[in-house]
Amino acid sequence: MNSTSVANEANYLKYKGKYKGLLGWIFSTDHKRIGLLYLYSMAIMFSVGVLLGLAMKLELLAPGKTIMEAQTYNATFTVHGVIMIFMVVVPGLPAVFGNFLLPIMIGAKDVAFPKLNLLSWWFYVAGVFLVLSAILFGSGTPDTGWTFYAPYSFKSGTNLLPAIFGAFILGFSSILTGLNFLVTIHRLRCPGLKWTKLPLFVWTLYGTAWIQLLATPVVGITLVLVALERIFGVGVFDPALGGDPILYQHLFWIYSHPAVYIMILPAMGAISEIIPTFSQKHIFGYKAIIASTMAIAFVGYLVWGHHMFTAGMSGTAQYYFSLLTFLVAIPSAIKVFNWISTMYKGSINIQTPFYWAVSFIFVFMIGGLSGLVLGALAANIYVHDTAFVVAHFHYIVFGGTGFAFFAAIHYWFPKIFGRMYDKTWANTGWLIFFIGFVTLYSPMFYLGMMGMPRRYYDYLQEFHGGNILSTIGSWILVTGFVIIIVNLVRSASKGPKAEMNPWHGKTLEWTVPSPPPLENFDEIPVIEENDGPYNYK
């Protein structure tokens, strides 16, 4: 590195600004520190969510009451869902890796609105505390499920208002991040970095940002309506007052289906970075991947009704939603084919991130194909609201977004912390986690097809075997999880120093030191005609 500007003398982890210690973090407007703030807060919430999930699996180890009452079980799956969806996978990769990497990947010093970025994190924390207060105080923990379906959500005697308000605030956090990223990508690309030279992760952040900005306000308004219904009985959703509870489902899924693409698109983006790096080959079908990203983001707005096939909607709407649901599968499949073609004849360098990435493709395909089963009208009536749906979305949200998150943390860890983790332990953790995952969720496909409903603390004797297997899977999975976390936490401070570009990546973040200096670049890079994100010879 040549001349270093004053701000860039220390790396971003060591840099001392106006405040010291913890304050220097929670008031920092540096995109990299904010990314880590999200990483730590989401890791805490994820761990809480995992514990609640383990508790539910333990309850389902045997029919009847095992460790908790029915009401406690209802509260447990509600809080588990709210935490995992609104506090983990929706902020997900954009909040952590988007914040950390987006400016570096486009050759900028920070995002367009650094203070707004910090505000997003504060909103996140406020949302978390509001939801937690719903658990700790008042008339009982919410028990509606993460979907807050009307009419139960305004009839339930539990302490729902703070939870609803918390989800509302978390939505704002998401909107602000989306807005920030949109402006950043439009305005702050370094000279020569054309749209067709953006790394694919940036493209997926772009598609995601649009969804965050356009879909999230819908759920915000819907939640406000539920609150008004509870407090004043305005009668929008209450049939007794002339309202329509199905309208709630429409509004909720108008957000929440696009939201599943908020979760999965950046995950696909991270995989699209990792596969070429470890195949040491140019990504196959760069433009096709971009087109499919934007197609998913767009068509994703138009299929929400597939969550409501059995709710009593019109036949016309059912046909429409089923048809379009099948259409979204096409761009997703395009990506899978592109990843596989990228690996074909590559010189594959098998490392931990690559293991996570290929297992991502495996579980994502099972999740996606089971989505098609659910999208078919006749099959849906049979398996809707059974364990099959739970298996589907865990395969795709946990197996998709979750695996991609682990792939990403193992890929960018040396860049973020400037240190390398222990690869043997990382691989061991991955293997155990993967085995646990498959053991935990696969039986649920079977159980659902046999008719075991979701969201019950009890089941018929005939479902016992599958449930035992699934619960054992949860123990295996958590063993892998602990290994992974301990390895990463230890290595962040004790691991051997990492090089600038340990995996031979070709995107801009690998051209700056590990960990990056405060303002990323001493001089804003200039992209030449022949430079590109995946220029492998």
Partner 1 sequence: MENEKHHIVPYRLYIFVLIALLALTFLSIAITGIELGSLTVAGALAFASVKTFLVLRYFMHLKYDKPYIVAMVIFVFAIFVVTIVVTFLDYLYR
363 half-sphere exposure, CB direction, 13 A CA radius: 32
8 Å CB contact between 402 and 373 = no
Q: Does 74 bind ligand HEM (CB under 6 A)?
A: no
Mark 325-350 as b/e (b = at least 16 C-beta within 10 Å): beebbebbebbbebbebbbeebeeee
CB of 307 to Cu ion, least distance (A): 5
425 in contact with partner 1 (CB under 8 A) = no
- What are the residues whose beta carbons fall under 8 Å from the beta carbon of 516, sequence distance 6 or more? 11, 12, 32, 104, 415, 509
User: From the list 374, 447, 477, 488, which residue makes contact with ligand HEM (rule: CB under 6 A)?
Assistant: 374
Residue 257 binding Cu ion, by CB under 5 A: yes
- Give min distance, CB of 149 to ligand HEM, in A: 9
Name the binder of 291 from Cu ion, partner 1, ligand HEM, none, CB < 5-8 A by kind: none
314 binds, among partner 1, Cu ion, ligand HEM, none (CB under 5 to 8 A by kind): partner 1
The listed partner (ligand HEM, Cu ion, partner 1, none) that binds 497, CB under 5 to 8 Å by sort, is none
For residue 368, state whether it binds ligand HEM (rule: CB under 6 A): yes
Residue 264 binding ligand HEM, by CB under 6 A = yes
How many Å separate Cα 321 from the centre of its chain? 24
Among 23, 51, 224, 317, binds partner 1 (CB under 8 A): 317
3-state SS class at 282: coil
> Sign (positive/negative) of CA torsion 456, 235, 170, 302?
positive
Cα separation values, 383 from 56, 148, 314, 458, 460, Å: 21, 21, 19, 18, 17
The answer to whether residues 138 and 159 touch, using CB atoms and an 8 Å cutoff, is: yes
Q: Which of 64, 157, 242, 315 binds partner 1 (CB under 8 A)?
A: 315
**Residue (160 or 296) nearer to ligand HEM, CB:** 296
One residue of 61, 125, 161, 214 binding partner 1 per CB under 8 A: 214
Binding segment toward partner 1, per CB under 8 A, in 30-38, 57-65, 297-305, 364-372: 297-305
Choice from 306, 335, 415, 419 touching ligand HEM (CB under 6 A): 306
Considering the complex, state which of residue 316 and residue 461 has its C-beta at the smaller distance from partner 1.
Answer: 316
Task: Indicate which single residue of 73, 284, 393, 430 sits in contact with ligand HEM (rule: CB under 6 A).
Answer: 393
Nearest distance in Å: CB 179, partner 1: 12
Q: Could you write out the DSSP letters of every residue in 252-265?
A: HHHHHHHHHHHHHH
Instruction: Give the containing element (helix H, strand E) for 483.
Output: helix 464-494
368 binds, among ligand HEM, Cu ion, partner 1, none (CB under 5 to 8 A by kind): ligand HEM
Does 384 sit near ligand HEM (CB under 6 A)?
yes
Span near Cu ion by CB under 5 A; candidates 55-63, 251-259, 386-394, 408-416: 251-259
Rule CB under 8 A: say whether 524 interacts with partner 1.
no
- Among 519, 508, 510, smallest CA distance to 199 is for 508
Complex with ligand HEM: residue 37 or 328, whichever CB lies closer: 328
435 by Cβ neighbours in 10 Å (0-12 / 13-18 / 19+) ranks as middle
Q: Which of 173, 326, 166, 317 is closest to 247 using CA atoms?
A: 317
Determine the Cα–Cα distance for residues 466 and 459; give it in Å rounded to an integer.
11
Distance of CA 431 to the CA centre of its chain: 21
Question: Which listed residue (2, 3, 139, 314) binds partner 1 by CB under 8 A?
Answer: 314
Q: Does 316 bind partner 1 (CB under 8 A)?
A: yes
**DSSP codes joined into one string, 209-226:** HHHHHHHHHHHHHHHHHH
Among all chains, which residue has been given the structure tokens 């999975």?
Answer: 477
- The answer to whether 485 contacts ligand HEM (rule: CB under 6 A) is no
Candidates 389, 391, 440, 512: give the one binding ligand HEM (CB under 6 A). 389
- Nearest CB to ligand HEM, comparing residues 330 and 489: 330
- Scan for tokens 């046909």, then name that residue: 319
Q: 3-state secondary structure string, 393-424?
A: HHHHHHHHHHHHHHHHHHHHHHHHHCECCCHH
Show the tokens assigned to 32: 């990299």
State the binding partner of 401 from partner 1, ligand HEM, Cu ion, none, CB within 5 to 8 A by kind. ligand HEM
Task: CB nearer to Cu ion: give 304 or 411.
Answer: 304
Q: Which of 400, 443, 448, 516 binds ligand HEM (CB under 6 A)?
A: 400
In the complex with ligand HEM, which residue's Cβ is closer, 328 or 409?
328
Q: How far is the CB of 181 from partner 1 (least distance, A)?
A: 14
CB within 8 Å of 189: residues ≥ 6 apart: 106, 107, 108, 198
- 394 binds Cu ion, rule: CB under 5 A: no
Q: Which does 480 bind (CB under 5 to 8 A by kind): Cu ion, partner 1, ligand HEM, none?
A: none
Taking the least distance from each CB to partner 1, the nearer of 302 and 500 is 302
174 and 91 Cβ atoms separated by less than 8 Å: yes
E strand map for 253-310: none
* Contacting residues toward partner 1, per CB under 8 A: 187, 214, 246, 250, 254, 301-302, 305, 312-317, 320
* Contacting residues toward ligand HEM, per CB under 6 A: 147, 260, 263-264, 306-307, 325, 328-329, 332, 368, 371-372, 374-375, 380, 384, 389, 392-393, 396-397, 400-401
